[in-house]
């Protein structure tokens, strides 16, 4: 559990793309994003108040979150100065970088001296059990994709946000680095040891109120040969009551796998649903989320209508048109 609220460290991000994690936090948990701190030359601006460490401290920030990708795979000296100063002032640090904070001797020393915590969210922190498959109370929704990076996290976050607006009980359950930094907790599923994958998902989505929904962040794809095992653990460990099918219609091959074509939405439905019913016989496919960012508004509307007609399921791009209809569909489960 990472302490909130956050001061978002943008470092020397060359552009907004490099600040993707910080943008996610600002957009989905604005109450956690009190301010930003930037180094000379930073090309990113989240539109948040620029704060010094002292100002952030006074404003109540607990954790300095590295919201930017680093260049060249190392934590530079100019970053270090800010990070160490933050530890000296009593902040915790949180990072999803491949290079771990805990591998930097000077950061470890400063954290120990000042009682701060270094959160490397790529590293599992808890001991996870072997999955036992026992039925859990409460309801769970899982986004599954025809491919990786088609909008599964966005879909789950958008549905969770609509649930909150409507006063319904919902929790977004993060399974990747960005999601964990956004919400402050979760399971970095791709870094969990194989035998404990499904168990870590059970752990992440425990018994809950009968009318509570876990919106589980999906990972990978059952059709992506590099990561399908991770997805399988979500389908079985997540024990979903509802599946949302996610798709990006302009992609020419599976991400990172030239020569591998994407499955159809029908194939995804017919593969994922029988597998999901092994852990939850009541599971249903309730809706479709399409990432139409590479289509015009007109093309997008036409495509969504075609898919909705063909599949007989509410079909939306939650980014363009909101996730309300997907949340409506949960009521049928």
- State in Å, rounded, how far the first CA of the chain is from the last one: 31
Residues 6+ apart with CB under 8 A from 92: 2, 3, 62, 63, 64, 116, 117, 118, 119
Q: Is 191 in the site for a copy of itself (CB under 8 A)?
A: yes
Q: Which value, in Å, is the radius of gyration of the alpha carbons in the chain?
A: 20
Tokens of 131: 């999955």
Among the listed ranges 64-72, 227-235, 290-298, 307-315, the one in contact with a copy of itself (CB under 8 A) is 227-235
Confirm or reject binding of residue 197 to a copy of itself (CB under 8 A).
yes
The H or E element spanning position 242 is strand 242-247
Of 104-112, 125-133, 289-297, 310-318: span binding a copy of itself (CB under 8 A): 125-133
Least distance to a copy of itself from the beta carbon of 112, Å? Answer: 25
**Which tokens go with 190?**
């791709």
261 or 332, CB closer to a copy of itself?
261
In this structure, are residues 94 and 66 in contact, taking their beta carbons and an 8 Å threshold? yes
| DSSP per-residue codes, 264-313 | PHHHHHHHHHHHHHHH-TT-EEEEEEE--TTS-HHHHHHHHHHHHHHHTS
The minimum distance between CB 191 and a copy of itself, in angstroms, equals 6
Cβ neighbours for 296, distance < 8 A, ≥ 6 positions apart: none
Using an 8 Å Cβ cutoff, are 145 and 244 in contact?
no
- Token code pair at residue 270: 């017919």
Q: Report the residue count for the chain.
A: 333
Of 193 and 331, which has the nearer Cβ to a copy of itself? 193
**Cα maximum dimension of the chain:** 62
Indicate the helix (H) or strand (E) that contains 158: helix 152-165
| 236 makes contact with a copy of itself (CB under 8 A) | yes
Residue span binding a copy of itself (CB under 8 A) among the ranges 71-79, 209-217, 219-227, 304-312? 219-227
* Per CB under 8 A, 100 contacts a copy of itself: no
Q: 112: buried, middle or exposed (CB in 10 Å: 19+, 13-18, 0-12)? A: exposed
CB of 122 to a copy of itself, least distance (A): 10
Rule CB under 8 A: which of 131-190 touch a copy of itself? 131-133, 189-190
Give the shortest CB-195-to-a copy of itself separation in angstroms: 4
Does residue 99 bind a copy of itself (CB under 8 A)? no
Distances (CA, A) of 240 to 41, 172, 285, 311: 46, 14, 10, 20
**Shortest distance, position 196 Cβ to a copy of itself, whole Å:** 9
CB of 171 to a copy of itself, least distance (A): 22
Q: Which of 130, 209, 250, 302 binds a copy of itself (CB under 8 A)?
A: 130
Q: Does 228 bind a copy of itself (CB under 8 A)?
A: yes
Q: Is 240 a binder of a copy of itself (CB under 8 A)?
A: no
Of 50-89, which residues contact a copy of itself (CB under 8 A)? none
Minimum gap (Å) between residue 116 Cβ and a copy of itself: 27
Query: Which of residues 22 and 131 has its CB atom nearest to a copy of itself in the complex?
Result: 131
Choices 60-68, 149-157, 256-264, 287-295; region in contact with a copy of itself by CB under 8 A: 256-264
Closest approach, Cβ 323 to a copy of itself, in A, equals 28
* 89 vs 232 by CB, closer to a copy of itself: 232
Asked if 101 contacts 118 with a C-beta cutoff of 8 angstroms, the reply is: yes
Binding site for a copy of itself (CB under 8 A): 130-133, 189-195, 197-199, 222-223, 225-233, 235-237, 256-257, 259-260, 271, 274-275, 278-279
């Amino acid at each position: 559990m990472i302490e909130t609220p956050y001061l978002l460290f943008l470092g020397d991000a060359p552009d907004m793309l490099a600040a993707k994690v910080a943008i996610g936090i600002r957009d989905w948990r604005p109450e956690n994003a009190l301010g930003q701190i930037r180094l000379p030359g930073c090309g990113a601006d989240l539109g948040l108040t620029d704060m010094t460490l002292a100002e952030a401290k006074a404003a109540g920030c607990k954790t300095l979150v590295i919201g930017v990708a680093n260049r060249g795979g190392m934590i530079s000296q100019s970053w270090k100065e800010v990070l160490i100063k933050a530890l000296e002032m009593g902040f915790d640090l949180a990072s999803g970088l491949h290079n771990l904070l805990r591998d930097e001797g000077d950061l470890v020393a400063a954290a120990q001296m000042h009682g701060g915590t270094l959160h490397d969210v790529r590293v599992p922190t808890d001991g996870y059990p072997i999955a036992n498959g026992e039925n859990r109370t409460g309801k769970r929704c899982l986004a599954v994709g025809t491919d990786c990076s088609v909008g599964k996290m966005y879909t789950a976050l958008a549905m969770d946000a609509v649930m909150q607006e409507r006063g319904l009980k919902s929790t977004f359950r993060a399974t990747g680095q960005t999601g964990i930094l956004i919400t402050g907790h979760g399971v970095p599923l791709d870094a969990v040891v194989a035998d404990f994958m499904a168990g870590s998902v059970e752990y992440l989505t425990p018994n809950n109120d009968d009318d509570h929904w876990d919106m589980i962040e999906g990972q990978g794809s059952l059709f992506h040969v590099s990561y399908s095992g991770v997805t399988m653990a979500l389908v079985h460990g997540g024990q979903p009551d509802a599946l949302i099918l996610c798709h990006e219609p302009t992609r020419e091959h599976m991400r990172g796998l030239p020569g591998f074509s994407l499955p159809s939405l029908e194939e995804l439905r017919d593969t994922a649903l029988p597998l999901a019913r092994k852990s939850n016989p009541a599971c249903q496919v309730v809706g479709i989320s399409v990432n139409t960012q590479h289509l015009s508004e007109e093309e997008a509307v036409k495509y969504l209508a075609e898919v909705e007609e063909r599949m007989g399921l509410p079909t939306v791009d939650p980014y363009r048109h909101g996730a309300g209809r997907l949340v409506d569909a949960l009521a049928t489960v």
